[in-house]
Structures are given as structure tokens and as C-alpha cells.
Amino acid sequence: MDAVAGPRTRTNRAAALHRRAEATASAASSILDETRPAPADQRRQYELADRLRSAATLLAPGWAGEPLETVAAETPSGEGPPVFVRVGTAAPLEDARFPALVPLLGIGHLAIDTDARDPRVAGLLRAILLRLLAATPAGCLLVRAVDAIRTNDTVRTNDTVRTSAGAGRSSAPPDTFAPFAALADAGLLPPPAVDVAGLRAVLTEAEQWVAPGTGRPRRHDRTLLLVVAALPELTGPTDLGRIEALAEQGRAAGLHLVVAGWPPAGPYAIRAPLPQATPLSVRNAYSLLGDPPDTSFVGPAAETPAGLNSPVFVDEDPPPALVDEVCRRLAEEVEAGSRLSLANLLPDPDEPLCLASSAEGIATTVGDAGGRPVTVGFTELTPHWLVSGRSAAGRAAFLTNVLLGLSARYGPDELVLHLADLGEGESFAEFLQTERDRSWVPQVRTAGMAADREYVLDLLGELTEEARRREEAGQRAGGQRFTALREHQPLPRVVCVIDNLPLLLADRDRLAAEATARVDALARSGRAYGVHLVLAGEGDLGITGGQTTRDSMLGQFPVRVALAGGGPVLEPSNDAAAGLPVGSAVVNTAGGLGGPRGATRGHERLVRFPDPHEAPESIAELRHRLWEARAERSAPPVVFAGWAGPLLRNDPRYRTAFAGRARGPAALLGRAVDLSRSTVAVPIGPAAGRNIAVLGPGAEAVTLLATAARSVAAHHRPGTGRFVVATLCADAVPVADALATDLAGQHRVDRVGLPGLLAALDVDEPGYLVVFGLDEPTPQELPPDRLRALLREGPPAGRHLLGWWRTVPPFTAVIQAGEEVDKLAAVVAVGVPGTQLAAVFGHPVQWRPRPNRAMLWDGPDERGVLLVPFAEPSAGPAPGNGPDAATRTDAEDGTDAANKAGSGTDATNGTDSEDGADPVNKAGSGTDAANEAGGGDAAEATGRAGAGSRADAAGAGESA
């Protein structure tokens, strides 16, 4: 008959059978619920419970196992994540109870057959989570949660709404993890995933955690816990498969799962138990605990899984105040612990400093990547670095960290630093003397702040020379490179930092071309001889963008550091630096090369670095320790501060002249914009061309001529010089008067106008004609050929013209066409553009005037010397003649940041070019007194630059 029954009959019968089976199962379930596992011998049960209680105290002490009602909120965590955690109380008999523990972190997972819609399960999850978080040191347990109770409920409610409006809305279950909200900001427990998309994102993160190399590097002291309170309704079989796979692989990778509602209900209910998980089944009155992974409660010999032979009453919801208090404490601890400080990058303060050898290379910690220090160095393989970041990205902070880190590790015999910043502002102050703190970092040999392009060009030139000297020494020794060469002579590694490099290269002029050529040459030759470059700035630094091949210039810079906005120093396809916050950097040691997204990049790390200025005391302490350990007579850095104006009276060469020790008369004009801050002098003797023509419209030119005359006077013993000070224009009268008065105290001085000057021209007596305003229209009385004759014939007879022309053409008229100007005079231009000077020299001149700078052409060399003219209008009494002199000049002047500190006690402020002081070569010897003074002098610029003098620095910056 069945065979002939229609489909409808067969369906009805199947439905009836199903209903009957369901009714039977339900009846069996309630009978089973009431039938607890049969207790064995009661006395043994008591004994066993006793022993298990003691064992639990050992296995799960404190937070992991104590009843939560009795644990104090301030109970400390353990040393690491607990292996066993309590899920409830097992009660084989009413009064024989012991904690029910499950092995979790480090061993397996927990699968609860009911999801958190059951309030007991929600409470249990919160209890487990609280225990695990509180028992683990803050930050070592990261939790990701999935909780679709509300979403599922909304789906269901919406279904209901169609039939019964509003039903179910008010009874939405609370978020299972809401009491843990305080952990979100600390990154310990972000808001739970509530839908399938969220679930999948969490699964992806967990998969990355499990598969090393597909995400950020995993810290082995961290565990990831994935807690599922309720799976989203739309969870598909693929998602469930991913959860199973994670459970399978997680244990070895520090990933653990607590899944409520497993096996999941619904169409995919037929699911194997969760791999490596202890199952917990929640019944009406109690729960049952299955066997943990790879073992059995009955004993290892058990063939069939038996589970714990006792009902378990799962832990109840922990008190919300306790959860809240613990979470806040954890969040605070994580926040405090994640704040990096300079100390994290420096050697332990208890360790001696500067013990490392730089023979094979030097390295320092530059930041932290996921809790691990990241160290980068300078070796032959990674000789030079490019560091890029937008303004205020922390470039100075990063560089300071690196330089302090290197200085703490390598002593001055192992490491020499040259620091230059073309940008406006006081850089490198941490390394230099200030008014209040006279210590310095002894590894620093030179420092240029608000440095001119010419300064940096000189620095590059000096270092290229140094690399060449080393290379030659290596060749003489049979082709030795740095490491071998060091065995025969003390040879520190040199690190040269140039910040704001684009200011050097932005103008595509001759200087930029020359600078690029020097960088190129230095990068190549320095590599094998321990001379290393760190070029820093914004954007592509003006040198990237081209091809990075092994042989290209960029190929010499394998280390690329991209701070916020610094992506252009990475390869164009490498977007690792996109969206970086301040305080982070991508450190790439393969020329900025990227790689497939998500793939391991052994050559690239995302680091966090501290702001060193949050720890000024660490900086000061380190600087003092380094300074106190410096070699005897070690010299402070030679400092160039772009905004500072040097004083004649403090000039070492001027002092030498004043003391009667000069070799011959010379006009001192200022200090060169170079590494050694040499005095710019025009020798005045019987040779051709020993006159000075100052060209330029402003007061600076007038001051320069007066200072030149004073310095010449200082070269003559009192009473032996003869000066005619003439003014042909009104503007210079006060300065000329002051000059004449000053000189009159020492020498024979005639203060004259045009007639006196004309008379003086006819006198054959040796002496100096100091003439202000030679461009005044007085051609009848003073025709160009008379002046030309004086310029040409005067010097051999001991007569020299020091003259000032406001404009260039009248001077050009003095020089005959075709005559070489250097046979007539040294020319100093102050405020005159190079274009106007072409007529003087007969060739184009590259010079763009800027405040507080002058250019000297002396001799046949086409290239002029850039100088900072002496700032003071009057020399005052003899240098070093006591406090009055110093005080008076300082007070009058008020513009000299660099030179103020000396207060008249500094015997030789600045480097004396006569001494041949050479910061690159000499400082190691520690015997250069001139350098020492120079440092003292200019270091003041660090602490003192006032607003006025900064404006000058800005001018210098603009012209760059």
C-alpha cells in the first residue's frame, strides 16, 4: 500500500513521525535532567572534592579560580596568562563541591552548547572574561568578541512586527560585553562584531594572528582570545569552517576561542564538536563538562569521552562594579605601558656608556614595532639614510632620538657627528652648550643651525675630503677598507645629518648642482670608509624620484625612513606610509621597496618612536654623563648659527693682531660661512690689488668698511699707522666720525672731506685712505683715472684705498675695460645683486644678496667667499681689556646672539683661521683651543637667539 501511497500521504506520515520523535526526545531530556550523574561511593566523593579543591587553588589561583564574590578588585594579575580557568562549581553531592576548571590559554578552547541569549551563559562568559583579563598582565591578553544577540533579535523582531506591531522591541537583550566597554580605547576589547561582516573581519584578524607573516609580527608574549557570545543568524557554513580551522590551528599560535552556541543551531546544526575544545552543555538545572582536548576526566585510558562525572553550576554574572573597576585599571596600565619614552631607545641607565666598537658598523634603536625594539645602523651595506616627513611630523624628534642613541653607545673615538639644518630655527640644542648648561655631547664636532646653503656645501666638501683621505690611506695600505684601516689608526665613523635638504637643492642653480654632485661623490666614497649621510627633509628631499639602481646615487641610500607625509622616500608603489600619525615611521632598509600587500616585509617595519622632549631630564642626564666622560681638553662643537652676527673684538685674528702677533696687516671683514668659521681677511701689503672696494647701498656696507679700517689699524703698533678718513656723502658721516675718533687714540688720523681727500691723494706718504661715498658725482675733482692710478700704484708704495661705493657703475668706470679687477682691489659686495657685478668682473656672477651676508672676491678666483660681516660698529678698547669693554660693546650691540656668551672672558672666540683649525680633521685630537672657544661662542646662539636675530636667520633661509 505504501508503495502506492501518494506524496502527500508520505509527507504527512513523515511529519507525524517527526512530531512523535520530538515529543520522545523532549520527555527523555526532562527525565535526564532530573537524573543527575550517579554519585559513586559518598565518602570517596567528599575526599575527592577536598583534593580537587586543593588542586584548584594551585592550578587556578587568584583571579583564575577564586569565587568572584570574594576576589578583591585590586588582586594582582599573575605573571602570564592563566592556563586553567574556573567555569563554575562542580557538585557531585550537595555538600561536596569543588571548582570546575577548564584548560584554556595555552591549551585549547571552550565550546558552550547554548549561546548568550541564555542569561546564565551571558553571565558565565562575563565571568570567564573577567577572570582571564584580570589574571593576565595588562596588555598581554587581547580579546575580540562576536555578539549578535541584538542583531539577531532585531531580525526576529522585524519579522514579528509584520504580524504584531511593536512586539519584542522593549525586551531586547543587553549587549553581553557592555560592562567591558572601558577596554575598547586601550585596544584590549574593541566593540564586538554584531553581524556577519563583523564576524568575518574578526575571523580574518584571527587568521592573520595564526598565520605568521600575513599581518604584523606577532608578539609571543600576547594571546588573542576570540569570544563568541552568539553567532549572527546569517553565519554560513564557510564561516563555521573558518572557526573550526582557527580552533584547529590556534593553540600553537596563541589564539584561543570561547564559543557559546556551538554546535550552532539551524540548518548547519550537524557539526562536529569544536576541535581542541572542552565542551560545556547547559541543561535546565545544571551543566555538564565534557573532556578537555587530548585528555579525559576519567583518565588517560578512557576510550570513550566521559566528561566530568558531576553536575556543574556555572559561575554567575560577576558584580558590574568589579568588572568596571578591573577594566579601568587594565586600560590605564595599557595606556601607561604603551607610552614610549626616550629611555626605551637608550641603553639601560645602569650600564656604562659608549662601550661599543664601530669597527663593523654602528646601530641604534630607532623605535618600537609591536613591543620589539627596531634597530637600524650604518654599515657598508646600509651606509646612508633618507628621512622624510612633512612639517611637524616629528622629524627633529626622530633624528634627536637616533643621534642620542648613537652617542650613548659609541664614544667620541668611535663616532663623530656633524649636524646641519638649513631650516630656520634652533636645531640640535640637545647636543650643544647653552647659556645655562655648558656641557655638550662630545661626539658632535660641528653644528650648523639655520645654515646657509654655502655652509652645507662646505660641510659636504670637507667630508668628501675626509673620505678621500681615508680612501687614499686604504689604498696605500694595499686596498684596505674601513674595518682593516682602523686596525692601524684611530678612525671614528662619521655621521653627517643634513635636515631640510630641499632648501639646498630647490633652486636649480650652480650651487644646487654642485651640492648634488658632492652628495653623490660622498655617498659613494664614504660608504666603504665609514662616512655616513642622513639626509632629511620634506617630500622627496629633492633627490628622490629618479631610478634607484645599485649604481645610482639613490642606490647608495638603502635606508629610508618615512614619517607622517614622508611616503615620497619610499618606492612609488609602496604605500606603507599612507596615513601615518605623528610619532610613527616606516623604516625600510631596501631603498623603500614595497612588496605584495600583507606579505612579510623583513626589510620594512612600522615603528613608533617617542618624543624625546617629553623626557628633558633623560636628555640632560645623558649629555652630562657623556660630557663628564669626555677626553681631557676635548673641544665643544664648532657652531654656526645663521642668525648670529660675529663681533670683531671677539675675533681670534683680531685679537692676535691686537696682541702684536700678526704676520702683516690685513682687513678683517667677518666670519666665513663655512665649517670652521674662519675669519675672512684681505691681506694688505705691497702687492698689486691690495685695496678694498666695498660695493652696496646700505648701512651694512658702511659698517663693513669701518670695521675693515679698524681691523687694519689693529695690525699696526700704536702710533705707526696713518689714516685719512674721508666722507663724500652725508649718510656715512656719523660712522666715519666714530671711526676717526676711535683710531685717533692709537694712530695719526686726518678726518677730511673732498678737499682734504684730494690733498691726501697728492701726498706720497704711506697710509690708508678710508673713503665713504666714492660714487658721489664729483668727476671733475676726482676723475676715475686718478682713483685708478691710486689703486694701481698705491700699494707698492704703502698707500691703500679702502673705499665705499653705493652703486656699481662709478666703480666700474674706475676699472678700465679689459683690466682685471683683482689687480686693483678686493671687491666686497653687500646688498648688490650678482647681475650688477658682471660688469666689474667681466663674467656672470652667481650671488643673490641677503641680509647679514656679504661676498668677497679677492684674487683671480671667480668664486667669491660668503661671509657674515662683523656686526659691531665700534671696536671699543682693546679686546680682553676687562669687563667694562665687554659689557659696553655687548650692551650697545644687542644683536649678536652667537658672541655674547664670552662676556669678555673668551680669549679666542671662534676658530682662528691662522691656526689652520679644521673641524673635520682636528677635533679628534682634542687640542684645538680655538675650536673650543669657537664652540663656547657659538653655542650661545643656541640658547639666546632673540626674535630680532631670528629674522636674519629667516632671511638666510629664504635666500636658500
Ligand X SMILES: Nc1ncnc2c1ncn2[C@@H]1O[C@H](COP(=O)(O)OP(=O)(O)OP(=O)(O)O)[C@@H](O)[C@H]1O
β-pair type (141-147, 692-695): unpaired
Task: Provide the mask over 599-628, with x wherever binding to ligand X is found by CB under 6 A and - wherever it is not.
Answer: ----------xxx-x---------------
Which amino acid, 473? A
Q: Is 211 annotated as a binding residue?
A: no
Q: Say how many C-beta atoms besides its own lie within 10 A of residue 351's C-beta.
A: 10
One residue of 582, 907, 929, 954 binding ligand X per CB under 6 A = 582
What stretch of H or E contains 21?
helix 7-34
Round to whole Å and give the CA distance between 627 and 14: 93
Minimum CB separation of residue 500 from ligand X in Å reads: 7
Minimum CB separation of residue 531 from ligand X in Å reads: 24
Minimum CB separation of residue 541 from ligand X in Å reads: 13
Q: Give the 3-state secondary structure of residue 507.
A: coil
Minimum CB separation of residue 949 from ligand X in Å reads: 18
Binders of ligand X among 386-415, rule CB under 6 A?
389, 391-397
Round to whole Å and give the CA distance between 37 and 769: 121
Residues 6+ apart with CB under 8 A from 558: 381, 382, 383, 384, 589, 590, 591
Minimum CB separation of residue 774 from ligand X in Å reads: 45
- Cβ(368)–Cβ(344) below 8 Å: yes
Minimum CB separation of residue 779 from ligand X in Å reads: 54
Residues 6+ apart with CB under 8 A from 881: none
Candidates 858, 821, 856, 863; CA nearest to 840 is 821
558 touches ligand X by CB under 6 A: no
Nearer to ligand X, 275 or 425 (CB): 425
Candidates 534, 525, 455, 452; CA nearest to 496 is 534
Nearer to ligand X, 378 or 609 (CB): 609
Instruction: Beginning with the edge strand found earlier in the chain, give each strand of the sheet holding 692-695 in spatial order.
Output: 679-683, 666-672, 865-869, 854-857, 826-829, 692-695, 799-805, 767-772, 722-727, 748-752
- Cβ(69)–Cβ(319) below 8 Å: yes
Minimum CB separation of residue 736 from ligand X in Å reads: 44
**C-alpha torsion sign, points 349, 352, 353, 356:** negative
Minimum CB separation of residue 422 from ligand X in Å reads: 11
Nearer to ligand X, 423 or 530 (CB): 423
Nearer to ligand X, 271 or 608 (CB): 608
Q: Is 144 annotated as a binding residue?
A: no
One residue of 81, 108, 377, 583 binding ligand X per CB under 6 A = 583
Binders of ligand X among 428-487, rule CB under 6 A?
none
Task: Provide the mask over 335-374, with x wherever binding to ligand X is found by CB under 6 A and - wherever it is not.
Answer: ----------------------------------------
Minimum CB separation of residue 393 from ligand X in Å reads: 4
Nearer to ligand X, 121 or 495 (CB): 495
Nearer to ligand X, 611 or 906 (CB): 611
Task: Provide the mask over 831-870, with x wherever binding to ligand X is found by CB under 6 A and - wherever it is not.
Answer: ----------------------------------------
Q: Which residue is nearest to ligand X (CB)?
A: 583
Q: Is 21 annotated as a binding residue?
A: no
Burial, 79: exposed, middle or buried (Cβ in 10 Å; 0-12, 13-18, 19+)? exposed
Q: Is 882 annotated as a binding residue?
A: no
Nearer to ligand X, 189 or 535 (CB): 535
| Sole window of 232-240, 384-392, 405-413, 507-515 interacting with ligand X (rule: CB under 6 A) | 384-392
Helix axes 733-744, 699-714, angle to 10 degrees: 10
Nearer to ligand X, 583 or 935 (CB): 583
Nearer to ligand X, 396 or 790 (CB): 396
Minimum CB separation of residue 338 from ligand X in Å reads: 12
Nearer to ligand X, 314 or 456 (CB): 456
Candidates 700, 703, 707, 691; CA nearest to 650 is 707
Candidates 600, 639, 739; CA nearest to 427 is 639
Q: Is 394 annotated as a binding residue?
A: yes
First to last CA, the chain: 105
Nearer to ligand X, 391 or 807 (CB): 391
Size of the chain in residues: 960
Nearer to ligand X, 143 or 397 (CB): 397
Instruction: Beginning with the edge strand found earlier in the chain, give each strand of the sheet holding 96-103 in spatial order.
Output: 96-103, 84-93, 312-314, 287-289, 277-282, 109-112, 255-260, 223-230, 141-147
Minimum CB separation of residue 388 from ligand X in Å reads: 10
Minimum CB separation of residue 894 from ligand X in Å reads: 27
Q: Is 389 annotated as a binding residue?
A: yes
β-pair type (531-537, 385-388): parallel
Grid cell in block for residue 254: 596563541
Q: Is 753 annotated as a binding residue?
A: no
Binders of ligand X among 297-336, rule CB under 6 A?
none
> For ligand X, how many residues bind (rule: CB under 6 A)?
14
- Cβ(696)–Cβ(852) below 8 Å: no
Which amino acid, 951? A
| Sole window of 331-339, 385-393, 465-473, 571-579 interacting with ligand X (rule: CB under 6 A) | 385-393
Q: Is 285 annotated as a binding residue?
A: no
Q: Which residues are annotated as a binding site?
A: 389-396
Q: Which residues are annotated as a binding site for ATP?
A: 389-396
**Interacting residues with ligand X (CB under 6 A):** 389, 391-397, 582-583, 609-611, 613
